[in-house]
A and B are shown apart, each in its own frame.
Chain A
Amino acid sequence: MSAGEGRLELRDVCVAFPSENGDTRVVDGCSFTLEPGKLSVMLGPSGCGKTTLINLIAGYQAPTSGTIALDGRAVTGPGADRLVVFQETALFPWMRVIDNVTFGPLSRGTLDAAGARERAATLLRKVGLDGFADRYPNQLSGGMQRRAELARAIINEPHLMLMDEPFRGLDAMTRELMQEHYLRLFEEQPRTNLFVTSELGEAIFLADHLLVMTHKPTRVKRVIDVDLPRPREFRMLTSPRFREIYEDALISLHEEGAKAFAGM
């Protein structure tokens, strides 16, 4: 991966739906830049339009106005340079894990069958799914499915990884292990990541930058830099610096959470 790949820029992005009293703006004047090789975490109250932003960046949905560009090229539709890992698994239930992982490179013809299998095997080993290549997704636990999905995305060498609350719904223990796995993959080969969560602790533990989003319409309220050293370790969760950032972010987040709670 050459330097400079994976810079995402959103400029004045708006998404509006027609409603009774004029247009309802879900996203309004949203601008931010993701630096190459950085892990940014988007935080905000649930239902604040984070998934809408992910869909826009992934190219599943077009903004009403504004521009989205990855490395200077406007996003006009879905592409393998921006891959999403969803909260619900999108692994193809009818394919074995290995066929799921090799689906991308074989579809685009970037690897031959043998090469794809080899690369997939390496990645599966990395995410701790050694020996599960021939299973079907419904034979895996929730945490394993999410890891298989990570492997399916990473094999395509995307410039940008979009993680839409990927660890939501996992039990606390599995979730911590998944965070560690995910961090190890990221720190081994940093690529631009946008990670959506509503868990502040998870956000700080993972992030280089926190994007605190406003509640309806969605835009960036604040960017908070997380200057904890890498590689991240769990004991950092109790460090004074972690707590400072936590408090700072919590106040911003709480204001928005209160608005969402009041149904504004």
Chain B
Amino acid sequence: MSTQAVPGTAPVGARAARRARWRGLANVHAIRGAAGILAFLALWQIGVLLHLPVVAKVPAPLEVARAAAGLLHDPRYYVDWAVSFRRVAIGFVIAQVLGVPLGLVMGWKTTFRYVTFPIFEVLRPIPPLAWVPLSIVFWPTTEQSIIFVIFLGAFFTTVINTMSGVRALDDRYVRAAISLGASPATIFRRIIFPGALPSIFTGMAVGMGITWSVLVAAEIIAGRSGLGFFTWEAYVGGAFPTIIVGMVSIGVAGYLASSSIRLVAKRVMPWTSRL
């Protein structure tokens, strides 16, 4: 009798067990992931050593590692990181600050949506890079035009995702809120906005991916700094291992940016993760 579970303690035990299992899984996943990357690098190195077609022209991983090691002492390399991150951050944040409220209203107010949505449908398919020439003409500095193009890359995705998030919100929540006597302002703040948050974060994750691809291209076309320009400069200067360092850096930077969004999402929406 004494070993019988007291109501309320059982879930706690189950939760601990689940957490332990998750931690175990995470380790397994990490080990498998690392093994995959090592195997990829090994194949690449072997391919270069065997002079396989196409692969032979690519610098071997060890050469790339040597180039990277050299760059670790070069302050300019870090400046390129900082410059790229700054551009992405500014463009992305402006896109959210303008795009989220706009998307919320577009989702909420039918008339407003009918008026504005066609504009988006026409502008959205224009690739952000097609804006570069106009952007250079329009904005006084290159820096501003690059940030503007990055902004565009994230903006449309943000607006569209936010809007669909509001529209996909189950009617019963709004009905319940109206029944409980909530004012339109309260409904907007406490029902529509949090209800659309999962979609908003999906939009942010997608938008963040777009900003990095746009950034690199914009830096190559118009920039004099940043990781994209760094990679291009390596190509122009014939430093082939450095090209790969630049590419990997951009990959890592994009990954860090997306991870931080996932991290923020988890913190802002505790209700989406169970227990």
User: Which residues from chain A sit less than 8 Å from chain B, CB to CB?
Assistant: 58-60, 77-80, 82-84, 86, 88, 90, 92-95, 103-104, 107-108, 131, 136-139, 152, 156
Residues in A with CB closer than 8 Å to B191 are 92
Bound complex: CA A202 to CA B74 (Å): 78
Residues in A with CB closer than 8 Å to B181 are 79-80, 104, 107-108, 156
Given contacts A82-B179, A90-B173, 10 further A-B contacts (CB under 8 A): A77-B178, A84-B176, A90-B176, A92-B173, A92-B190, A92-B195, A95-B190, A104-B181, A107-B183, A108-B180
Nearest CB of chain A from residue B76's CB, rounded to whole Å: 46
Residues in A with CB closer than 8 Å to B275 are 139
Residues in A with CB closer than 8 Å to B270 are 136
Q: Are B274 and A139 in contact (CB-based, < 8 A)?
A: yes
Bound complex: CA A107 to CA B180 (Å): 7
Residue of B nearest to A80 (CB): B181
Residues in A with CB closer than 8 Å to B269 are 94
- Interface residue? B197 (CB, 8 A): yes
30 CB contacts below 8 A, A to B, read: A58-B175, A58-B179, A59-B179, A77-B178, A78-B175, A78-B178, A78-B179, A79-B181, A80-B180, A80-B181, A82-B179, A84-B176, A84-B179, A86-B172, A90-B172, A92-B173, A92-B195, A94-B271, A95-B190, A95-B194, A107-B181, A107-B182, A107-B183, A107-B186, A108-B181, A136-B270, A138-B271, A139-B274, A139-B275, A152-B180
User: Which applies to chain B's interface (DSSP): helix, strand, loop or mixed?
Assistant: helix
- Interface residue? B8 (CB, 8 A): yes
Bound complex: CA A59 to CA B176 (Å): 11
Interface residue count for B (Cβ, 8 Å)? 23
Nearest CB of chain A from residue B264's CB, rounded to whole Å: 16
Residue of B nearest to A131 (CB): B8
Q: In the complex, which of the residues A60, A78, A94 has the most CB atoms of chain B within 10 Å of its own CB atom?
A: A94
Bound complex: CA A83 to CA B180 (Å): 8
Bound complex: CA A138 to CA B195 (Å): 14
Residues in A with CB closer than 8 Å to B274 are 138-139
Bound complex: CA A225 to CA B85 (Å): 73
Q: Mark B180-202, 1 if CB is under 8 A from A, else 0.
A: 11110010001100110100000
Residues in A with CB closer than 8 Å to B180 are 80, 83, 103-104, 107-108, 152, 156
Residue of A nearest to B170 (CB): A90
Residues 99-146 of B contacting A (Cβ, < 8 Å): none
Bound complex: CA A90 to CA B173 (Å): 6
Residue of A nearest to B186 (CB): A107
- Interface residue? B177 (CB, 8 A): yes
